[in-house]
Chain A
Amino acid sequence: MHNKTLAELSRSLRNKEISSEELTRLLLDRCNKFNKSLNCFISLTEDKALSLAMEADVKIKANNAGPLTGIPIAHKDIFCTHGIRTTCGSKILDNFISPYDATVVKQLESAGMVMLGKTNMDEFAMGSSNETSFYGPVENPWDKERVPGGSSGGSAVAVAARLAPAATGTDTGGSIRQPASLCGITGLKPTYGRVSRYGMIAFASSLDQGGPMTRTAEDAAMILNAMAGFDERDSTSVDREVEDYIAALEQPIEGLKIGLPKEYFDERLNPDISQIVHDGISELEKLGATVTEISLPSSTLSIPVYYVVAPAECSSNLARFDGVRYGYRCEDPKDLNDLYCRSRGEGFGREVKRRVMIGTYVLSAGYYDAYYLKAQKIRRLIRDEFQQALKDVDVIIGPTTPGTAFRLNELMDDPISMYLSDIYTVSVNLAGLPAISVPAGLLNGLPVGMQIIGDYFAEARLLNVAHRFQQVTDWHQKKPTGYE
């Protein structure tokens, strides 16, 4: 039963082959069994899960169920959950019980989904390996010596190890797509403004976007149908009608124009990964797509630009953690500044401190023009190049990551190399575009993802292309061994 996709479980529930309570108990047992080693959950919410499952069963019995009713899901611990601990992977929020639900949590609960627990993540979503979490690293189920990617590492692992059919993630520079790629699952980052950020703990507000992490594009479409939409409580939410992402899945992709950015296939890319992505593109060509080479020259600057914009925004967003109103407070502060400095110094981990300090520096008097303003100008160049390219092609395809999952501790003392693992994902956040990572192959037994980037609000098109790809390939069905 745990090997079924979300779409298959949806049918099983409505055909009464299994009840939501049975399914939820089965998955909670798996979570309890495998979480000891995987460490993909920070909290399991068993009581809440069982009460939601029983409510769902009442609706299913009354034939009053939607497609997501009774289906378990794991939420990244960055989403606020009413009455439930919400840590964001940080010591500074270790004791924080959220007084409200994030809009995304509420939407999925209204659709009948059953929250299993809160997943592990890099502290405040700052990391690409899940190793910066206060709650310890997460194991990659494909190889226990390797990282699952990050920052949504716990969510990716929960789905990959078949502990949950779906999970929520957030993506500021690749935090949905990179772990999806490294764990062999499907992960979608929607257009900036498509999914509400209300109750999603802010890292870099102009880049953050929540999205689904699932086994298939079809499952992602089902979740996005419930997640997307305007929210007046998020000032950057876009007031625009939501498409039916399921309805578009089966459309033929004959005539689809694919652009391959030559900068994504240069010497920085592992040649074996390049081959896997090209093989994936050939499958789409067989379905009638055509391929042209394009150029995105400024995208090579996306990492430098990102490491100005994201830290700048994080340094102001994280100013709210001050030891006064909620969260961790140091012992015996001698004055107010001591309270601020020690609560933050003891509550934040090393990577968060690095980024808060970089952000503070680039925004400080005399440096603003040289760093922040300059970065926002190059950000426009990056966006304009994407816009220009997307006039001629429907989607842009390339690798999600330059390599497969790296070893635990391999990059922890080398922040720059860690940052470069997001080289193909951050430009998409800077431009605000949607993109999806789908499993496209295995290299030495480790998953490799292919990234499909689309124009603003082209989520339906991306899911359609990804679904068509998954109908003719079986990489998304490959699973790590040892989790039966």
Chain B
Amino acid sequence: MLKQSDIKKIAWLARLEIAEEDTPGFSRDLSNILNLVEQMDHVDTSSVTPMAHPLELSARLRPDKVTETNQREQLQSHAPAVERGHYLVPKVIE
């Protein structure tokens, strides 16, 4: 059973703000999901290789050439805050 302190830690790792009153609900739901997942423990997988791709294909490589055009202005037009070509966030370094 995940404790409410575990939920707060996981939420922090995922950078998710969770309201205090929602913590017990998430604790119950996540614990139930992990209980469901624990059915996996009954299977002996000691000799099984983990599967990364159903067709056993590995990542395709391509020549290291520029293929996309520069769309900086268009892409930055979707940002919440931009200044002189940079994405604006609250001050990081004092």
Contacts and interface: CB of A to CB of B under 8 A. Distances in A.
A335 interface: yes
B7 A378 contact: no
B92 interface: yes
A374 B79 CA distance: 39
Contacts of A342: 17
Contact of B30 (A193, A239, A308, A354): A354
A381 B36 contact: no
A89 B16 CA distance: 19
B50 A377 contact: yes
A411 interface: no
Contacts of B33: 307, 354, 358, 415-416, 419
Interface string A323-359: 1111111000111111111101110101001101111
Contacts of A378: 40, 43, 45, 48
A375 interface: yes
A345 B16 contact: yes
A96 B15 contact: no
A325 B79 contact: yes
A14 to B, nearest CB: 37
Given A335-B90, A357-B7, A383-B54, A326 B79 contact: yes
B90 to A, nearest CB: 5
Contact of B55 (A329, A341, A373, A456): A456
Interface stretch (A3-11, A261-269, A296-304, A443-451): A296-304
Q: Which has the most chain A C-beta neighbours within 10 Å: B19, B43, B59, B75? A: B43
B30 A357 contact: yes
A357 B10 contact: yes
Contact of B87 (A324, A350, A359, A373): A324
Interface string A94-108: 001101000000000
A329 B88 CA distance: 11
A64 interface: no
B54 A432 contact: yes
A379 interface: yes
12 contacts: A308-B40, A325-B78, A326-B80, A329-B81, A336-B89, A341-B17, A344-B17, A354-B26, A361-B34, A380-B49, A416-B32, A416-B36
- 9 closest A-B pairs by beta carbon, nearest first, are A432-B54, A345-B17, A376-B50, A380-B51, A329-B80, A377-B45, A326-B78, A340-B15, A377-B48
